[in-house]
């Protein structure tokens, strides 16, 4: 996703109607942040909103693009993404990816929600061909991460789409180092997330990056959800990275970049 639009679209196949409430409360809350496991990250559109996080809390950040304006907190690794193979994304991909790797980026992310018509909307066969053109040249230079699937129902979506992509990749010789996935449901259904994410690691036998996850419910329910999910993700060996959707005003941060109660929970859970 690049905005809340696709998040709303996911409600079509999620078990609950999804939506993020505004995190009402004081401008910031003093909560002692737990040291990062090295897995926790940020998804952002505006880098200025990441300023009150630090590398002791989050290890990486990405913005559904291959470059960004501004600065990330010191020590936070940027993961560039080729959102789709459309020229507005792919024309600068090689130069931007090379620049990011030279600056220390360790992972390259591939197309966003190819199994969703309102996002990159790419067939598994086309995605495999695009991988060979745009990602394979970086083999050995960074960890190359699969397209980020939704948790929609197979065979057309979710793991069904991924299975077809990997099958096409086997024919072409793609080097897919890790799997990316997005997961959305209700904040009261943490067990679903835990089972689904665990199964991803078992099924694909590769590191898993949960590059988007979110949960519908009140702020209090979302905080309780994160207090369960963050330790779970930190402790699950198959998960290498995860990022809550998203670092936006009224979600993890206030307009001045200070952390909301939900943001404080994310870094302290």
Q: Which two tokens stand for residue 143?
A: 């960890």
What's the token pair of residue 213?
Answer: 């996850």
Q: Which CATH class is domain 4-268?
A: alpha beta
Asked if 210 and 181 count as a contact pair (C-beta separation under 8 A), the reply is yes
Q: What is the spatial distance between Cα 230 and Cα 3, in angstroms, rounded to a whole number?
A: 23
Q: In the beta sheet, which residues pair with residue 107?
A: 143
CA-closest candidate to residue 124, choices 108, 137, 111: 111
- Sole residue written with tokens 């990441």: 50
* Per-residue model confidence as pLDDT tens for the chain (269 residues): 654 333 333 333 332 223 333 333 333 334 445 556 799 999 999 999 999 999 999 999 999 999 999 999 999 999 999 999 999 999 999 999 999 999 999 999 999 999 999 999 999 999 999 999 999 999 999 999 999 999 999 999 999 999 999 999 999 999 999 999 999 999 999 999 999 999 999 999 999 999 999 999 999 999 999 999 999 999 999 999 999 999 999 999 999 999 999 999 999 99
Per-residue tokens: 181: 């996935």
DSSP state of 109: B
Using an 8 Å Cβ cutoff, are 165 and 127 in contact? Answer: yes
How many whole angstroms separate alpha carbon 207 and alpha carbon 204? 8
pLDDT of 37 reads: 75
Q: Domain locations in the chain?
A: 4-268
Sign, CA torsion 158/160/166/172: negative
The predicted pLDDT at position 35 comes to 59
Q: Which strands, in side-by-side order, build the sheet including 107-108? A: 77-78, 60-62, 40-44, 239-247, 208-216, 178-186, 143-149, 107-108
- 173, 169, 248, 162: which is closest to 209 by C-alpha? 162
pTM of the full predicted structure?
Answer: 0.89
Element containing residue 156 per DSSP (H, E)? none
Neighbours of 236 (CB within 10 A): 18
- What is the per-residue pLDDT for 34? 54
């Amino acid at each position: 996703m690049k905005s809340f639009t696709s998040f709303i679209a996911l409600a079509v196949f999620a078990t609950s109607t999804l939506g993020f409430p505004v995190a009402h409360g004081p401008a910031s809350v003093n909560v002692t942040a737990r040291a990062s496991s090295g897995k926790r990250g940020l998804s952002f559109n505006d880098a200025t909103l990441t300023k009150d996080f630090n590398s002791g809390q989050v290890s990486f950040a990405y913005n559904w693009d291959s470059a960004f304006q501004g600065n990330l907190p010191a020590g936070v690794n940027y993961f560039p993404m080729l959102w789709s193979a459309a020229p507005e994304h792919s024309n600068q991909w090689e130069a931007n990816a090379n620049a990011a790797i030279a600056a220390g980026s360790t992972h390259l992310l591939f197309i966003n929600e190819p199994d969703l018509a309102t996002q990159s909307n790419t067939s598994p066969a086309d995605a495999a061909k695009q991988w060979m053109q745009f990602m394979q040249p970086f083999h050995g230079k960074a960890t190359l991460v699969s397209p980020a699937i939704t948790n929609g129902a197979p065979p057309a979506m979710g793991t069904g789409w991924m299975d077809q992509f990997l099958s096409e990749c086997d024919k072409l010789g793609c080097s897919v180092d890790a799997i990316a996935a997005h997961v959305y449901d209700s904040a009261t259904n943490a067990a679903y997330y835990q089972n689904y994410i665990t199964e991803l690691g078992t099924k694909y036998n590769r590191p898993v990056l949960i590059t988007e996850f979110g949960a519908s419910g009140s702020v209090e329910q979302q905080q309780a959800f994160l207090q369960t999910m963050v330790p779970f993700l930190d402790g699950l060996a198959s998960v290498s990275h995860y990022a809550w959707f998203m670092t936006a005003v009224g979600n993890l941060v206030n307009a001045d970049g200070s952390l909301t109660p939900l943001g404080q929970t994310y870094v302290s859970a």
